[in-house]
A and B are shown apart, each in its own frame.
Chain A
Amino acid sequence: MPGSRDVIVEVTVNGARHTAQVPARTLLVHFLRDRLRLTGTHVGCDTTQCGACTVALDGVAVKSCTVLAAQASGHEITTIEGLAPAAGADPGPGAAAGLHPIQRAFQQAHGLQCGYCTPGMVMAIRQLLSDNPDPSEQDVRHGLAGNICRCTGYQNIVAAALAAARQLREA
């Protein structure tokens, strides 16, 4: 039988290199949460529908519950923990320190209630705005088709995405 049941995973996560031996069936989201203790990435539906587990793999948003840690070996990952600027950066008026502009927009537009979907939403919006820096409201709603929120009714998430887009364009 070719292959092995345990694999060595070597990844760069938020700029730091990590190496670990894990069962081949380990999903990237469990590797991030259980091995690296980066619990900002959430498991929601477990069926590739809700987007709570969204991370950037080589800079592109993917659902980490649907990627094997083994597939990510040799690649770079950014999680929600890696998004914020270094401590000490000016957060802007009224915002908490150490937030990315998308995170700050969520805070200011009240884009979250329970917060469970928020890390995935932020990572998905990051991709959306990188592909289309000036989206319409419809573009945002369509772009977030892979992320489910059960609290907000999406209105303030969309408002946060549009506010972040404006701010990032002006930056």
Chain B
Amino acid sequence: MIATMFPADFAYARADSLEHALCLLSEAQADGDDAKLLAGGQSLLPMMKLRLAAPQTLIDIGGLTELRGVARGADGTTIKALTTYRALQRDPRIAAAFPAMTDALAVLADQQVRARGTVGGCVAHGDPAADLPAVLLALDAQVTLTSAAGSRTTPLDSFLQGVFATDLAGDEIVTAVTIPASPVGSAYEKFEQPASHLPLAGVCAVVTVENQVITSARVAVTGVAARPFRALDAERSLVAARPEPDSLAAAAAAVTAGVRPLSDQHASGPFRLHLARVLARRALERAVSRATTVRSGRGC
């Protein structure tokens, strides 16, 4: 007998439109069903195989082409929820506007997982150690959530709440992530767990440098605490500073101020905090270098 893993039994329904998906979701809710949406399944299915999740119903939204693609508008760049990492990685507009995202996509999971995993699924999953939320937080992204009653938009920073906990209501679907126009001085650095490729720590830095002075800075950290977070102390220390090694090192040292770290068999809390500070300095150096190389460059 070969030992093998498969999910607990569930009922499967394939949605053929967003409207249909919302209808299936309401129906499941009305029946008191524990339903989950299935997009790429690269996080949900492994959790189901480990029986860490055992939804009664899976609503497969993976085939909804209306939720795929990248569009640019007045609000910035909108990445529809079912856009895969692979599709983003191959989109030259993303590489040109958000170098930090390209950094993250290159080291996120592996090519097979990137072919199925989706941006919306990542955001909805609320994994404290996902790569992309650090990048999206540092890029000040907004999440669009749609229910039968309509749509709402909320900052990712308030959407993420804790370990696998988000502000997603039971009748809502993450339909898009929108990134406002952003400075191209951005970079992402991670230190990964070699089997899962998840970051033990990952840091994204986004800076604007004008006349040899940092005029804006956002720094976000993932893998270290219960949810990816903005390092506000570090950000404040950078504004109006010169983009020089001392000021970057001081900001990097501040990214873990007041943080209660995660600790597990892969890395202790103090080690994660140390990694975050080292990676923050590297990310800041690279972001500053990009900001000053592409002097006139602005995304979107």
Contacts and interface: CB of A to CB of B under 8 A. Distances in A.
Contact of A46 (B4, B12, B56, B113): B4
A3 B116 contact: no
A145 B2 CA distance: 26
A143 B12 contact: no
B56 A1 contact: yes
A74 B11 CA distance: 19
A127 B115 CA distance: 10
A96 to B, nearest CB: 27
Contacts of A5: 9-12
A118 to B, nearest CB: 16
Given A26-B6, A60-B86, A71-B38, A2 B115 contact: no
Given A46-B4, A66-B45, A1 B57 contact: yes
Given A66-B41, A68-B41, A71-B60, A46 B10 contact: no
Contacts of A146: 109-113
Interface string B34-65: 01001001100110011000001111101100
Interface string B84-108: 0010000000000000000000100
B7 A2 contact: no
B62 A43 contact: no
B125 interface: no
Given A1-B33, A71-B41, A24 B115 contact: no
B112 A124 contact: yes
A21 interface: no
Contacts of B112: 51, 54, 61-63, 124, 127, 146
Nearest to B33: A1
A51 B41 contact: no
B8 A3 contact: no
B122 interface: no
A163 interface: no
Nearest to A55: B112
B9 A63 contact: no
A67 interface: yes
Nearest to B28: A2
Interface residues of B, number: 44
Nearest to B196: A49
B19 interface: no
Given A2-B11, A2-B28, A3-B58, A124 B6 contact: no
B24 interface: yes
A1 B11 contact: yes
Interface in A99-128: 124, 127-128
Interface string A29-64: 010000000000001001111010010010011110
A67 B58 contact: no
23 contacts: A1-B27, A1-B33, A1-B56, A2-B13, A2-B24, A2-B57, A2-B59, A24-B12, A25-B9, A30-B4, A46-B49, A47-B49, A48-B42, A48-B46, A51-B110, A61-B112, A61-B115, A62-B115, A63-B112, A66-B45, A66-B116, A127-B111, A131-B111
Interface of A: 1-5, 7, 23-27, 30, 43, 46-49, 51, 54, 57, 60-63, 65-68, 70-71, 73-74, 124, 127-128, 131, 142-143, 145-147
Given A25-B10, A46-B5, A51-B110, 19 more contacts: A1-B57, A2-B13, A2-B27, A3-B10, A5-B12, A25-B6, A25-B7, A25-B8, A25-B9, A48-B45, A57-B115, A61-B112, A62-B112, A68-B38, A68-B58, A74-B63, A127-B111, A127-B112, A145-B111
